[in-house]
């Protein structure tokens, strides 16, 4: 079914901006589910997409250290969930959890070289996702889409 037909069937009218936004986020959600499933197939045994997201966060932003609370906030999970995830990552040697030298009660998380290497290997494997996307969109279109999505993400982050 064509996109226009699907949209018309969902809304009954093409002028309803709120339903258009709802449809947009429905598509983004489905893309997220499909991409997460594809990514999880490429991850090394025992590494989850949540763990990969943390590895990617450190590398993407060129971070040296983060507190567990900061990571929980960024990943939008509870501190308990983040603590559990970080324990598993530390067992795999992907991160190091250390005492904060300025506050002995607090912890700091650092990406290990193994964590950086695992992230790079996963990104290399994820290149397999490029082929189907480049069949429907050229690089210029993907750049434009990515820039638009970045602007939407920034707008949503301001609402947090």
- 85 and 12 in a single domain? The answer is no
- For residues 59 and 120, membership in a common domain is answered with yes
Asked if 58 and 89 touch (Cβ cutoff 8 Å), the reply is: no
Query: The pTM is what?
Result: 0.78
Segment 86-96 shows an average pLDDT of: 97
User: Is 51 in contact with 85 (CB distance < 8 Å)?
Assistant: yes
Strand order in the sheet with 95-100: 65-66, 103-111, 95-100
Give mean pLDDT, residues 35-54: 90
Domain of 5, in residue numbers: 1-42
Q: Which residue has better confidence, 86 or 128?
A: 86
Report the sign of the C-alpha dihedral through residues 104, 77, 143, 154, in that order: negative
Q: Tell me how many domains the chain contains.
A: 2
Task: Give residue 16's pLDDT band: very low, low, confident or very high (50, 70, 90).
Answer: confident
Q: Are residues 13 and 67 in the same domain?
A: no
pLDDT tens-digit profile of 123-158?
888 877 888 888 899 999 999 999 999 999 999 989
């Amino acid at each position: 079914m064509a996109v226009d037909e699907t949209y018309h069937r969902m809304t009954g009218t093409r002028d309803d901006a709120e339903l258009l936004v709802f449809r947009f986020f429905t598509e983004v959600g489905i893309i997220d589910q499909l991409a997460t499933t594809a990514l999880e197939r490429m991850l090394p045994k025992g590494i989850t997409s949540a763990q990969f997201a943390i590895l990617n966060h450190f590398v993407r932003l060129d971070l040296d250290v983060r507190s567990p609370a900061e990571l929980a906030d960024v990943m939008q999970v509870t501190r308990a969930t983040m603590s559990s995830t970080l324990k598993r990552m530390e067992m795999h040697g992907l991160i190091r959890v250390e005492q904060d030298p300025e506050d002995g009660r607090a912890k700091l998380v650092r990406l290990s070289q193994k964590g950086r290497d695992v992230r790079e290997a996963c990104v290399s494997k994820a290149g397999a996702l490029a082929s189907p996307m480049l069949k429907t969109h050229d690089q210029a279109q993907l750049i434009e889409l990515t820039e638009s999505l970045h602007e939407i993400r920034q707008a949503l982050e301001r609402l947090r």
